[in-house]
Amino acid sequence: MLIQKPADILPSEITDRALYQRRRDFIKAAAAGAIAGSLGLPAQAAVRGTPLANVQKSIWTLDEKPTPYESVTTYGNFYEFGPDKDSPGKNAHRLRTRPWTITVEGEVKKPRTFAIEDVLKWGALEERTYRFRCVEGWSMVVPWIGFPFSEIARHVEITGDAKYVEFVSLADPEQMPYVRVPLLDWPYVEGLRIDEALHPLTLMTVGLYGEVLPNQTGAPVRLVLPWNYGFKSAKSIVKIRFVREMPKSSWMKSAPDEYGFYSNVNPDVPHRRWSQAQERRLGEFLKRKTLPFNGYAEQVAKLYTGMDLRKNY
């Protein structure tokens, strides 16, 4: 069920008065979802989630028009819920996002397991509108809500030996039917170099469009790295490991000649089978030019100084 127990809504998530009316809409939508669920029907992907409170606008805004909520929540890849673009929207209602813990371990002084509720109380959340570019050649603009990943690192006190970070997603066949199918090496694993992970743009994301992250978009907590191809932004994260060696991601294991560790959006380095020079923004008919680092070169290009990005794709 998308939203099973409204009682679980936390003080930190409770809406302010301005959003109260939307909350009423949410309750109606949740009721509709519950009926659909009890009839064995797939819950509507567009059921609106709980509004998030304590959200501040950040400097990360864009002049570009955000992709409609409907598109963001009905189109995407989340292979744990099925192979098609609409599978997550149809199947992710089975994901239970409470209780949820994130275990942080490895090269840290204070290994911890955080409950998602506690993480949400760390401080104000930020709304950041980022471009999002999939390796397949489509893109969107999403107003995400989250906090910098460096907050996690700060809470566990990483050591000097933490050179990379490994992210592990949930792989529960009860909730994620396609984890039984060996489409990829489950659980989904992604990795970042420590400087990429600590970069201020790297967002631990808990919401979008003012609301709690809808299940199909990687609830309750996911990464968003706007300058990388979308698959680097791991969803439904349960474990974060600070490590010495470069982790091997699920995609690197699946097709090493097509997917590398860095996966920077780069119009000049084609995918092995298709060009990356252009992209189709959801909602647009004609393609637009893909920007180096997805338009974030000014902020992130320095992370890769001296590296041959053709080799380190």
**Per rule CB under 8 A, count of chain residues that contact other proteins:** 26
Q: Which is nearer to other proteins, 202 or 216 (CB)?
A: 216
Q: Are 152 and 240 in contact (CB under 8 A)?
A: yes
Q: Give which of 110, 58, 96 is closest to 172, Cα–Cα.
A: 96
Interaction of residue 71 with other proteins, rule CB under 8 A? yes
Q: Write out the DSSP string of 153-216.
A: HHHHTB-TT--EEEEEE---TTT-GGGGSTTSSSSPEEEEEHHHHHSTT-EEEEEETTEEPPGG
Q: Which of 46, 255, 256, 288 binds other proteins (CB under 8 A)?
A: 255
Interaction of residue 74 with other proteins, rule CB under 8 A? yes
According to CB under 8 A, which residues from 207 to 246 bind other proteins?
none
Q: Are 107 and 162 in contact (CB under 8 A)?
A: yes
Q: Which of 70, 151, 157, 268 binds other proteins (CB under 8 A)?
A: 70
Q: Which is nearer to other proteins, 75 or 100 (CB)?
A: 75
Q: Which is nearer to other proteins, 56 or 254 (CB)?
A: 254
Q: Which of 75, 167, 262, 313 binds other proteins (CB under 8 A)?
A: 75
Q: Which is nearer to other proteins, 138 or 147 (CB)?
A: 138
The distance of closest approach from Cβ of residue 78 to other proteins in the complex, given in angstroms and rounded to an integer, is 11
Q: Are 219 and 95 in contact (CB under 8 A)?
A: yes
Q: Which is nearer to other proteins, 61 or 254 (CB)?
A: 254
Q: Give which of 242, 287, 217 is closest to 71, Cα–Cα.
A: 217
| Spatial distance between the Cα atoms of 277 and 259, rounded to a whole number of angstroms | 17
Q: Which is nearer to other proteins, 163 or 287 (CB)?
A: 287
Interaction of residue 44 with other proteins, rule CB under 8 A? no
Cross-strand partners of 193:
164
Which range touches other proteins (CB under 8 A), out of 19-27, 28-36, 101-109, 267-275? Answer: 267-275
Q: Which of 10, 27, 183, 309 binds other proteins (CB under 8 A)?
A: 183
| Spatial distance between the Cα atoms of 125 and 206, rounded to a whole number of angstroms | 9
Q: Residue type for 243, please?
A: V
| Count of all residues that appear for the chain in the document | 313
Binding site for other proteins (CB under 8 A): 67, 70-71, 74-75, 77, 79, 83-86, 136, 138, 183-184, 254-255, 273-275, 280, 282-283, 285-287
